[in-house]
Amino acid sequence: MSEQQDYRQEAVFRPHSVAKGAGWLAAAHGASFLIKLALIPVLTRLLAPEEFGIVAASMALIMFIAILGGRGGLSAAVIVFHRDNPAAWRTAYSITLIIAGLCALIVIALAPAIASLIGLPQAVPYLRAVALLTPIMLSAEFMSILLVADNKYRTESQAGLAAETTAAVLAIIAAFLGAGAWALVLQHFLAQGIRFIVFTRATKLYPAIRPQLALIRPMVPYAVKSTGGELVNFFAVQAPVLLVSRGLGAASAGLYGVANRLSSLPGDIILHSLARMLFPAFAELKSEEERARAVVWSGTANTFLLLPILVGIAAVAGPLTKVILGWEFAPAAGILAGLAISKAITAPCVGLYAFMRAVNRSGTLFWLLAARAVFIIAGVVIGMAYGGLNGAAVGMAASSLPGLLATWLTVRSIVAFNWRDVLVPFTKIAACGAVMFVAVSLYVPWAEGQGAEGQTLHEVFVLASAIALGGAVYVSLLAGMFFPAVMAFIRKPDTEHSIKGMIIRLRRRIDRGRAAAGNAPTASTTGGQV
């Protein structure tokens, strides 16, 4: 048995290490969230819904092409098979760039046919422009995975923050100057371009002059299955934009795109950060007990962090769209609520998908994601046929339930965890979220009726008071349900990560620092020479 296999067999799941890395990523993504949140209301007041719809549909197709180019396929395979082999990384990077370039050329050539297919003939120039983004985006994504695998998550997070800040500022300037939808295209180019430059300098990763294809061949089946899973996941996440644009027009697609962008921001911060740390952590584990522990922790952590935020967004969707997006986008409230509830239901799934990829079950993941895509697309199509845009939101939320159940059942067939460890915390968190949703949903229409219709200042008050009410209700209920666990966490000083234990360790570090400073040589003891 090799040293790597020995290491993996002895590896244990360390929630603290994962949480620390995810915390750095989440801090940067949280700052990016604030930037994007500030960017959305500015751009919605400068751009029409049709312009958002064109760029949203174009970027959805480019994401599809990026997946075809191997996004997450070869890079994930290298982590599983050749994590510490620089030659494998360079060879996989070279192949990724070649595929990305070919995909970009195909999109540029077929742009008129693609635009006609999605019902947006005016999107041809935008499609050709964002097609050039594919190699840059895939390169940045590839190097980002390498940075996280090497525990350089600070570099990854800081580069992402700088990229989003610069892109947001210049996109607003371009929109003010009348660039229209091109301002959104510029935003994507700048964000990915800056990440590409910084990551290249940090990783020193360049294409291999002589690719060692022998290293890649054993990874091809895994990479193909992983890419296939990403493709069907694309259909589950991005296809509704194309379906809405085809069935209801560019304006409805714009409303859907803005609502999807707003509801995705919490997940981009929390789930994105956790998943990027969980995948390499899962890949190290061989013990059945440690895998089960990691799976339960992942599902509970994702639900605990994300469900209350998304349910809260659904409850305040009405005033939220009016305040942040403007009154022109008020019809997006229904679709925002439906998308937020859908993402709240599937909150645990991202970590579970990372687990399945890490334990080399990409084939099983492919069929699971294919079933989920069928559920979601069917739900959106049926809902859109009976209720238009709001019906699509209801169908999206309803179709998420069988997807969540199928995911947990599939993971249970891989690793034998205790159902009670999953269901008890999930039930408590979901119950708190449901009570909060009902309370806020009853309060919002009453509060809106107390002021004159059309007053933005009153909507701001309604939004702020609803958030305060929801937060108070949720925290109170959660503290009551988890009171024994909270008290045990506080009272045990010998627990590794309890509050008292952390304070004791912090004091010891301070004392060691003072002692080291007191023992350091000074000018008087060294004769004034250094």
- The position carrying tokens 């009348």 is 178
What is the pLDDT, as a whole number, of residue 528?
38
Whether the per-residue pLDDT at 79 is higher than 70: the answer is yes
322-334 average pLDDT score = 76
pLDDT band at residue 25 using 50, 70 and 90 as cut-offs: low
71 located within any domain: yes
Mind listing the pLDDT tens digit for each residue in 334-368? 888 888 888 888 888 877 887 887 777 878 888 88
Of 86, 52, 205, 62, residue with least CA distance to 137:
62
Category of 285 on φ-ψ map: left (φ > 0), alpha (ψ -120 to 50) or beta = beta
Residue 204: strand, helix, or coil = coil
What is the pLDDT, as a whole number, of residue 446?
86
pLDDT band at residue 210 using 50, 70 and 90 as cut-offs: confident
Whether the per-residue pLDDT at 275 is higher than 70: the answer is no
Residue 165 contacts by C-beta under 8 Å, 6 or more apart in sequence?
32, 35
Residue 110 contacts by C-beta under 8 Å, 6 or more apart in sequence?
none
506 located within any domain: no
493 located within any domain: no
What is the pLDDT, as a whole number, of residue 9?
44
Q: Mean pLDDT for the chain?
A: 75
524 located within any domain: no
40-56: burial string, b at 16+ Cβ within 10 Å, e else = beebbebbebbbbbbbb
497 located within any domain: no
504 located within any domain: no
Whether the per-residue pLDDT at 30 is higher than 70: the answer is no
472-476 average pLDDT score = 87
What is the pLDDT, as a whole number, of residue 206?
79
DSSP character at residue 249? -
487 located within any domain: no
Mind listing the pLDDT tens digit for each residue in 218-272? 777 777 777 777 777 777 777 787 788 777 777 777 778 778 877 777 777 676 6
The residue segments making up the domain with residue 144 are 3-481
Q: What total of structural domains would you count in the chain? A: 1
Of 519, 480, 236, 487, residue with least CA distance to 353:
236
272 located within any domain: yes
- What does pTM read for this prediction? 0.65
Residue 70: strand, helix, or coil = coil
